[in-house]
């Protein structure tokens, strides 16, 4: 990989602004890198024509020469294939949607374009974002740059592989149960699941009810702040979208308050964690203790939520796809079909139990953030599984719970809290391990500030795998 494709988004912005590199040179290097790595990574699955992209890059250079100083001007953008980008197919990684050309941009993509980014194509995702292993019948599997036999995670696995593999610095991602944070952990990137509503959820056929959010998956914390500054704010088509926070995440990134109360939850009461992953995360978490913050274990157990989360999403998926699944079952992946059809087991009684369980989660979170300003956990309990699966059924002789890969991430989708994954270190297998930082609801600024403080003490960029 060339030096330019190693850069973070913020570094690219600076190099472009200082005329150290042109948008055309950056685009050429990016397209060459996509071509060189496609067979290995399977990260980018749809690409605009080279000459069109180079023309867009030349136009960006001309605008910069004319005084245009937008934050993302001339930077290539990969869009996760669950999100619309005008003129490109949004396939959802699903054969029946292989010709589903988007007629307009999602709000997130439109705002990134307004900031000057150049959409180059789409990044791989599992079918309808339904699992944490990125593979599908339409585009095949994505592979982890740290070990090509392993998955980069999912469902934003193509974006993670592109970021970690030196292909793209700027990508979109989404997270309905861990789909930003899990690939960030498995691929050694930085991922932020914003507070629910922080980024408007409009611009695709389907999103995961009131648990899914859009946000950045990138190389550095400053990249995520820049991304969020470009896309945050309300939109009339999303009634859940939040008002603008009234601040710049980038400008307040270095302002972590002193003397925070930091909680460490090693397993949330039910997660089964690989021993070396647990050790790496605890050592990383103590960075905050060394930084002068109060640090204490938080051992209050959460209710296990994997079954409820899975059933809720299966039920909602049936509402969107049920007739097509019944008419064309052969066009869908078997694992996806099996998961979605479980939604037919939903009853009013079960729905009521699930809502009650979510209220118990909200109460747990309220009590937790009365006691702590930040909560730290492992992001994922074990090493990345094989690129085509399966997930492990046990870890070191202990059975994994249902949806064990997302044991630490699902709760904060259901509770709407902001949460990020930072690279904590490497496991015994030499694979990235993520530490999750969770903040109070709507305090995306505090989560980013804490992640930046960690990054200063334990920098991971620009250390990326070579392959």
Residues belonging to the active site: 80, 155, 179
Which residues have C-beta within 8 Å of that of residue 409, sequence separation ≥ 6?
Answer: 175, 177, 178, 181, 182, 193, 379, 380, 419, 436
DSSP state of 128: G
Place of tokens 């292909």: 167
Q: Determine contact, residues 250/9, Cβ cutoff 8 Å.
A: no
Whether the Cβ atoms of residue 404 and residue 425 lie closer than 8 Å to each other = no
Size (the chain), residues: 467
Is there a contact between 120 and 47 (Cβ–Cβ < 8 Å)? yes
Asked if residues 166 and 181 have their Cβ atoms less than 8 Å apart, the reply is: no
- The DSSP secondary structure of 321-371, one letter per residue, reads HHHHHHH-GGGS-HHHHHHHHGGGG--HHHHHHHHHHHHHHHHHHHHHHHH
Pair of tokens at residue 81: 């294939």
Query: In Å, how far are 7, 154, 376, 424, 427 from 434, measured between CA atoms?
Result: 21, 14, 11, 5, 10
CA-CA-CA-CA dihedral for 320, 325, 328, 333, to nearest 10: 110
Q: Which residues contact 280 (CB under 8 A, 6 or more apart)?
A: 424, 425, 426, 427, 433
d(CA 364, CA 302): 7
For residues 256 and 450, the answer to whether their CB atoms sit within 8 Å is: yes
- Smallest CA-to-CA distance from 168 within 294, 250, 72 is with 72
Q: Identify the three-state secondary structure at position 75.
A: coil
By DSSP bridging, strand 190-193 and strand 213-218 are antiparallel
- Record the tokens describing residue 60, joined without a space: 């960006």
């Amino acid at each position: 990989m060339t030096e330019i494709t190693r850069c973070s988004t913020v570094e690219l912005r600076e190099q472009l602004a200082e005329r150290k590199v042109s948008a055309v040179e950056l685009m050429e290097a990016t397209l060459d890198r996509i071509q060189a790595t496609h067979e290995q990574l399977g990260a980018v699955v749809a690409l605009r024509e080279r000459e069109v992209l180079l023309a867009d890059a030349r136009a960006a250079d001309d605008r910069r020469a004319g005084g245009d100083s937008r934050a993302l001007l001339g930077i290539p953008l990969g869009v996760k294939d669950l999100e619309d980008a005008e003129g490109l197919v949004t396939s959802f990684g699903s054969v029946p949607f292989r010709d589903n050309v988007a007629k307009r941009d999602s709000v997130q993509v439109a705002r990134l374009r307004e900031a000057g980014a150049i959409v180059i194509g789409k990044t791989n995702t599992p079918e309808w974002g339904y699992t944490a292993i990125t593979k599908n019948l339409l585009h095949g599997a994505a592979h982890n740059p740290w070990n090509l036999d392993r998955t980069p995670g999912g469902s934003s696995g193509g974006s993670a592989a592109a970021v970690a593999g030196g292909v793209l610095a700027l990508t979109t991602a989404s997270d309905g149960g861990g789909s930003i944070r899990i690939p960030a952990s498995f691929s050694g990137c930085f991922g932020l699941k914003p507070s629910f509503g922080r980024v408007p959820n409009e611009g695709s056929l389907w999103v995961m009810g009131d648990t899914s959010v859009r946000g950045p998956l990138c190389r550095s914390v400053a990249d995520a702040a820049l991304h969020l500054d470009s896309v945050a704010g309300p939109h009339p088509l999303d009634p859940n979208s939040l008002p603008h926070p009234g601040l710049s995440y980038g400008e307040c990134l270095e302002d972590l308050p002193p003397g925070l109360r930091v909680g460490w939850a090693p397993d949330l009461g039910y997660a089964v964690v690989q021993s070396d992953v647990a050790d790496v995360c605890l050592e990383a978490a103590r960075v905050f203790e060394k930084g002068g913050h109060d640090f204490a274990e938080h051992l209050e157990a959460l209710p296990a939520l994997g079954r409820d989360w899975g059933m809720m999403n299966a039920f909602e998926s049936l509402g969107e796809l049920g007739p097509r699944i019944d008419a064309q079952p052969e066009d869908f992946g078997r694992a996806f079909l099996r998961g979605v059809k479980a939604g037919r087991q939903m009853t009013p009684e079960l729905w009521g139990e699930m809502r009650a369980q979510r209220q118990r989660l909200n109460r747990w979170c309220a009590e937790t953030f009365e006691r702590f300003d930040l909560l730290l956990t492992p992001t994922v309990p074990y090493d990345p599984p094989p690129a085509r699966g399966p997930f492990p059924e046990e870890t070191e002789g202990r059975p994994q719970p249902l949806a064990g890969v997302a044991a630490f991430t699902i709760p904060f989708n259901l509770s709407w809290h902001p949460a990020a994954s930072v690279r904590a270190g490497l496991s015994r297998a030499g694979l990235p391990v993520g530490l999750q930082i969770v903040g109070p609801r709507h305090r995306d600024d505090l989560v980013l500030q804490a992640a930046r403080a960690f990054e200063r003490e334990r920098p991971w960029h620009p250390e990326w795998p070579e392959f």
